């Protein structure tokens, strides 16, 4: 026999979880009794929102889920924002919380950490939220969670366990995990899609974050079709920066929209075709006049935003490879590389000087630190990167400036990425406003021994919002902030710190930080 909490830990390990983010509380101490000696790494953030963002960064960098342990009530509401970001970005994350015992939960009698309906609150930011009523439910509920992570559209899952059940005795034996494969589209529909693509005169690929594991198949299919491949923010790097068919200019930009509108057949794989990628300026809905084929794991998403002529429901990597396998050995070359180059050149030419300068900063990071993972908050350089940065590889560029758009994401997500991919440089791109949302996580990086390089753009306030207000003749209230001495604070937490004023000083600062193996703040004074 063992306790329910200890069984939970052993089941998590059996499902491949190796890291738990959480802050102990009186309502979760039995989980920590179970964690002791359980073989899982525990990381203590300074705020439960940070725990969720760390799990997000871990999953984005590695492709594997992490778990979070939070207390009932404030722990749950604190992590809800991070769950909503992960839900919007289709990121797997398991959140295990306590809940008050039956008779106290939702009673209205003002018990500690009581919420009226905690499970219902969490359900809005999760694939599902389940309340354990009987310890025997746990293995099946966890199996459902990992089925979502492995074979469905990955999103957060919340499981709550009453405090009085965490220490309940249960049998230690558990059934082995069931390993599921993602579905592959039906052969007949793949045949139809392959015929449409083979006959296309000006084909185009739209690649989203759902295709992040499909780099080999996506590149090979683009080359066979001689088709430009437009990559959304979370798909950047599926084709490398020097690939003649790769287009990392946002599909919200006129040049990329022109490319899309000129295509006679468009294959959209693993992309929502949603406005934060395709209409971030909110000027006009995206037009796709050509024949649209959608390949998506989520049947509902496959018919949202832009209903397709043909929907392929299944895994992007398997689906793209299956399409490639159905095409003849060779196809005469066309104009794909020229069309892609024209879109890249026109897109870059249309950027304002500030955006081009910010892209140069990002390219300097990419070239100075090969293999680096760039994790962004909502800040100016990240906005520029989302418009036109060509990432070196998949899972090396992600941020919270699309989808849900939560501020404060950058530093904790970078810590999660560093834990997931030790040995690779992790560069966090953050502004002074966003950093102050999660400044205390500087301490977590030191405790967890993650040598994050924090590239901080300090314009002493919410500069992007201030510009937005001024452009609309709105008095810029609430956007000029008192900012502390960030270098001094970083050093107090045990970080190294440096200041630079222009891009000329960046390569040496990056190389020095990487060589030191220490968490380092590089502040850019604007």
Q: Are 11 and 139 in contact (CB under 8 A)?
A: yes
CA distance 249 to 279: 13
pLDDT at 228: 98
Please state, in angstroms and as integers, the Cα–Cα distance from residue 1 to each residue in 167, 168, 517, following that order.
11, 10, 44
Q: Which CATH number fits domain 351-525: 3.40.50.2300, 3.40.50.1220, 3.40.190.10, 3.40.50.970?
A: 3.40.50.970
Question: Closest Cα to residue 432, out of 461, 410, 408?
Answer: 461
Q: How far is Cα of residue 117 from the mean position of the Cα atoms in its chain?
A: 28
Which segments of the chain belong to CATH 3.40.50.970?
2-170, 351-525
Those residues with Cβ within 8 angstroms of residue 33's Cβ, 6 or more apart along the chain or in another chain = 3, 5, 6, 167
Token pair belonging to 32: 């920590």
pLDDT at 525: 82
pLDDT at 526: 64
Determine the length of the chain: 526
Which segments of the chain belong to CATH 3.40.50.1220?
187-347
pLDDT at 284: 84
**Per-10-residue mean pLDDT for the chain, 526 residues long?**
92 96 94 89 97 98 97 96 97 95 70 82 95 94 97 97 93 82 96 97 97 97 97 98 98 97 98 93 89 97 96 98 93 90 98 96 98 96 97 97 92 98 97 95 98 95 88 92 94 97 95 97 89
Q: Are 208 and 296 in contact (CB under 8 A)?
A: no
Q: Are 160 and 119 in contact (CB under 8 A)?
A: yes
CA distance 279 to 289: 16
pLDDT at 105: 66
Burial of 178 from C-beta contacts in 10 A (0-12 / 13-18 / 19+): exposed
Q: Give the CB-side neighbour count of residue 303, counting CA atoms within 13 A.
A: 2
Q: List strand residue ranges (DSSP E) for 58-164, in order.
A: 67-70, 93-99, 128-131, 156-162
Tokens 């689906």 correspond to 319
Torsion of CA 361, 367, 370, 371, to 10 degrees: 50
For the domain made up of 2-170, the CATH class stated in words is alpha beta
3-state secondary structure of 336: helix
Q: Report yes or no on whether pTM surpasses 0.85.
A: yes
- In this structure, whether the domain defined by 187-347 belongs to CATH 3.40.50.1220 is answered with yes
Burial of 192 from C-beta contacts in 10 A (0-12 / 13-18 / 19+): middle
Radius of gyration of the chain (CA): 24
3-state secondary structure of 398: strand
pLDDT at 215: 98
Those residues with Cβ within 8 angstroms of residue 374's Cβ, 6 or more apart along the chain or in another chain = 362, 365, 366, 385, 391, 396, 397, 427, 429
């Amino acid at each position: 026999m063992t306790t329910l909490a200890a069984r939970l830990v052993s089941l998590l390990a059996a499902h491949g979880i190796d890291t738990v983010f959480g802050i102990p509380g009186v309502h979760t101490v039995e989980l920590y009794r179970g964690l002791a000696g359980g073989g899982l790494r525990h990381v203590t953030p300074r705020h439960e929102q940070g725990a969720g963002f760390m799990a997000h960064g871990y999953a984005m960098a590695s492709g594997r889920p992490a778990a979070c342990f939070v207390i009932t009530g404030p722990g749950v509401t604190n992590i809800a924002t991070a769950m909503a970001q992960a839900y919007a970005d289709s990121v797997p994350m398991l959140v295990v919380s306590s809940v008050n015992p039956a008779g106290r939960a939702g009673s209205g009698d003002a018990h500690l950490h009581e919420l009226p309906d905690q499970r219902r609150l969490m359900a809005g930011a999760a694939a599902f939220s389940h309340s354990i009523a009987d310890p025997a439910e746990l293995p099946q509920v966890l199996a459902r969670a990992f089925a979502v992570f492995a074979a469905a559209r990955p999103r957060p899952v919340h499981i709550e366990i009453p405090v009085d059940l965490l220490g309940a005795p249960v049998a230690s034996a558990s059934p082995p995990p069931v390993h599921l494969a993602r579905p592959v589209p039906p052969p007949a529909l793949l045949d139809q899609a392959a015929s449409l693509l083979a006959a296309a005169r000006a084909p185009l690929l739209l690649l989203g974050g759902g295709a992040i594991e499909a780099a080999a198949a996506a590149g090979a299919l683009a080359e066979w079709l001689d088709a430009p491949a437009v990559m959304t923010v979370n798909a950047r790097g599926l084709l490398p920066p020097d690939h003649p068919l790769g287009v990392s200019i946002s599909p919200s930009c006129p040049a990329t929209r022109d490319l899309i509108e000129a295509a006679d057949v468009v294959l959209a794989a693993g992309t929502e075709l949603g406005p934060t990628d395709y209409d971030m300026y909110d000027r006009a809905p995206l037009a796709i006049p050509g024949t649209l084929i959608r390949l998506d794991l989520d049947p509902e998403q496959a018919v949202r935003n832009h209903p397709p002529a043909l929907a392929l429901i299944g895994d992007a990597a398997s689906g793209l490879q299956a399409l490639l396998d159905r095409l003849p050995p060779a196809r005469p070359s066309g104009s794909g590389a020229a069309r892609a180059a024209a879109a890249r050149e026109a897109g870059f030419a249309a950027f304002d000087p500030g955006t081009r300068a910010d892209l140069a900063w990002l390219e300097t990071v990419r070239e100075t630190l090969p293999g680096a993972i760039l994790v962004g908050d909502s800040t100016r350089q990240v906005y520029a990167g989302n418009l036109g940065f060509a990432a070196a590889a998949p899972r090396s560029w992600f941020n919270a400036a699309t989808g849900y758009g939560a501020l404060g994401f950058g530093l904790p997500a970078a810590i999660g990425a560093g834990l997931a991919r030790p040995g690779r440089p992790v560069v966090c791109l953050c502004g002074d406003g966003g950093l102050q949302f999660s400044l205390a996580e500087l301490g977590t990086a030191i405790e967890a021994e993650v040598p994050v390089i924090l590239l901080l753009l300090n314009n002493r306030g919410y500069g992007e919002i201030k510009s937005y207000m001024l452009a609309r003749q709105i008095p810029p209230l609430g956007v000029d902030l008192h900012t502390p001495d960030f270098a001094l604070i970083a050093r107090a937490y045990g970080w190294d710190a440096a200041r630079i004023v222009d891009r000329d000083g960046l390569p040496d600062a990056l190389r020095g930080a990487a060589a030191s193996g220490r968490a380092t703040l590089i502040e850019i004074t604007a």
